[in-house]
Amino acid sequence: MTPASSANGATPIDGDAPLEPAAMLALSESQQRSVQSKMGGFVPIITGTWAGAWLIGFLALWSIDGLDGGLSLPLPLAIVVFVAVMLIAIAASTWLGIRSSRGIKSSRASDFTGAVYGSTWWVGSVGLGAIGGGLATQGMSSEIANFYYPAIFVLFSGVMYMVAGAIWHAVPPVVMGVVIVAIAAASSFFPYPTHFLFLALAGGGAFAILTIVSAVYMHRAAPVSSDRPQGSRAAHA
């Protein structure tokens, strides 16, 4: 037997000996953490974007009648601000979500699930808006519309977060979804325009907390940069 051959007849390539089972498991776990880190690295950015969107958007709506004198925003400007920050948050979430999966092999089933889930946000939002328009033609007053639109869209986003957790077997989105649904339900019990202030602080605060928690989790779960495990080489020396 030549020195380059191992005891079991395996011949190392480029001086690397075959990994022992424990080392192979460690390497597999390291690769899995690397994939999770790549896919989840954008989560704090996404949730942070939504925290800012909720805070700025709903504060803009609240400022229409919630502030005195010249500090109040005109209705058209407040609506423009609200729509703009929400569209920015949606666009950022979509773009970062696509980037997070680059370089990671996926199946046709997972691609289909992701496409349908992403489309559901737009289809559901358009449907809820159409229902609101129909209710307006049936006599829903603008005062009630001020409660219907924010509450129903916030509730829908909470449900979608729960669905995301169910699809990808992740607990944090489910918890966040439950919190958002509770915020949407509670907002209807606050008088106008205080319910906008409640949505801004409670919703924005919830996303801010999730941003901090997810950032800490991703930092702790990040794979440690290291070379190939050395234990098996010593065993085969």
Under DSSP, is residue 16 helix (H, G, I), strand (E, B) or coil?
A: strand
Domain definitions of the chain by residue range = 39-222
Contacts of 196 (CB under 8 A, 6+ apart): 58, 59, 61, 62, 66, 150
Query: Token pair of 74, please?
Result: 């005109």
Q: pTM of the prediction?
A: 0.71
Query: Token pair of 232, please?
Result: 């098996």
pLDDT digits (tens, 9 = 90+) for 142-174: 899 999 999 999 999 899 889 888 887 778 888
Q: What proportions of the chain, in percent to the nearest 5, are helix, strand and coil? A: 75, 0, 25
- Let me know: does 96 contact 46? Beta carbons within 8 Å: yes
pLDDT digits (tens, 9 = 90+) for 124-134: 989 999 999 99
pLDDT of residue 213: 83
The band of 11, judged by pLDDT with boundaries at 50, 70 and 90, is: very low
| Of the candidate ranges 84-93, 166-175, 218-227, the one whose mean pLDDT is the lowest | 218-227
DSSP class of residue 224? P
Q: Is the pLDDT of residue 218 over 80?
A: no
pLDDT digits (tens, 9 = 90+) for 184-211: 999 999 999 999 999 999 999 999 998 8
- Let me know: does 118 contact 94? Beta carbons within 8 Å: yes
Q: Is the pLDDT of residue 104 over 60?
A: no
Neighbouring CB atoms inside 10 A of 145's CB total: 14
Euclidean distance between CA atoms 206 and 183, whole angstroms: 10
Q: Which residue type, as a one-letter code, is found at position 217? A: Y
Euclidean distance between CA atoms 61 and 74, whole angstroms: 9
